[in-house]
Amino acid sequence: MRHRNPNLLGGVLGTLWLLVILVPIYYIVITSVRPREDYFSSNPLSLPSELTLEPFRYVLENDFLRYFANSTVVTVVTVIAVVTSSLLASYVIVRSRTRLARFSQKLFLLGIAIPLQATIIPIYYLIVQMGLYDTLWALILPSVAFAIPITVLILTNFLRDVPGELYESMTVDGASDWQMFRSLVLPLAKPAVVTVGIYDALQVWNGFLFPLVLTQSSEKRVLPLSLWAYQGEFTTNIPAVLAAVMLSALPILALYILGRRQLISGLTAGFSK
């Protein structure tokens, strides 16, 4: 759609929104390299008199890497468990007409319609009773359960597009469920798995409520919670807190730079159809 005259109004409003987006981000960046002494006295949007990486050093010295590692473990394990179990389930839902398969499909749809976060109190009780309180498992297990419905929905949508004849021919060759899954379903679903994997990973990486309620010690702290904790521990050291904010966004930024398309499709997984 090429217009004869450029859309001036659109350009102006778009630029305004750009400012709205950029000012807070500029503030985060500029403050994270501002010396601590300057924070209370200088203009918060001015360039600092001298650039310092001191806030970053301070954050890294305060166990940031441990929280980073915890977040990584939780995210990786959760995503592997979610995607594997959901892909198996989606395979059955698409290919089987048994009552259980249809029931499962309805069940997972229900899971999407309900704000599952509201079940945090019984989950807390359950985790404490299981003796899993303040372990990384306490974060992984419910995260897996909460991610399954949407993951199944997206994967079933994708698997439905696979022609039935493909499965047919393999069955004729006498392939077992397992062989079929490994040599047909998995390779076929790979693009959808990447998309939905990124989506799940972002959800888990950014999750706040589970860590807040289900863990306590600094040993088990994950990144979003650590930001909150830093805010209390560093007291007046706002530059260091914002340095931690910057660092926590780095992995996603890296993903954005390396694979913008994948990240965006992961973010909007299954919604933009």
Segment 227 to 256, residues that bind another protein, using CB under 8 A: 227-229, 231-233, 235-236, 238, 241-242, 245, 248-249, 252-253, 256
For another protein, the binding residues in 55-84 under the rule CB under 8 A are 80-81, 84
Shortest reach from residue 56's CB to another protein, in Å: 15
Output b/e per residue, 193-215; b: 16+ Cβ within 10 A.
bbbbbbbbbbbbbebeebbebbb
Binding of residue 162 to another protein (CB under 8 A) = no
- Which residue in the set 1, 50, 173, 258 belongs to the binding site for another protein (CB under 8 A)? 1
Shortest reach from residue 188's CB to another protein, in Å: 14
For another protein, the binding residues in 187-226 under the rule CB under 8 A are 205-206, 208-209, 212-213, 216-220, 223-225
Shortest reach from residue 191's CB to another protein, in Å: 14
* CB contact at 8 A, 32 and 246: yes
Shortest reach from residue 241's CB to another protein, in Å: 6
Q: Which DSSP string corresponds to 196-223? A: HHHHHHHHHHH--HHHHHH--SGGG--H
Contacts of 125 (CB under 8 A, 6+ apart): none
Binding of residue 18 to another protein (CB under 8 A) = yes
- Which residue in the set 33, 39, 195, 199 belongs to the binding site for another protein (CB under 8 A)? 39
Size of the chain in residues:
273
Binding of residue 131 to another protein (CB under 8 A) = yes
* Size, binding site for another protein by CB under 8 A: 134
Is 192 or 245 the residue whose CB approaches another protein more closely?
Answer: 245
Rounded CA separation 273/270 (Å):
6
- Which residue in the set 60, 101, 188, 194 belongs to the binding site for another protein (CB under 8 A)? 101
Alpha-carbon distances of 16 from 24, 27, 107, rounded to whole Å: 14, 17, 44
Angle between the 223-233 and 238-258 helix axes, to the nearest 10 degrees? 160
Rounded CA separation 139/141 (Å):
6
- Which residue in the set 98, 173, 174, 261 belongs to the binding site for another protein (CB under 8 A)? 98
Alpha-carbon distances of 242 from 81, 125, 212, 215, 246, rounded to whole Å: 33, 34, 20, 23, 6
Binding of residue 100 to another protein (CB under 8 A) = yes
- Which residue in the set 180, 196, 201, 243 belongs to the binding site for another protein (CB under 8 A)? 180
Q: For the CA atoms of the chain, what is the radius of gyration? A: 23
Among residues 194, 116, 123, 184, which one has the least CA distance to residue 148? Answer: 116
Is 54 or 134 the residue whose CB approaches another protein more closely?
Answer: 134
Residue type, 245: V
- Which residue in the set 35, 66, 73, 145 belongs to the binding site for another protein (CB under 8 A)? 145
Is 50 or 121 the residue whose CB approaches another protein more closely?
Answer: 121
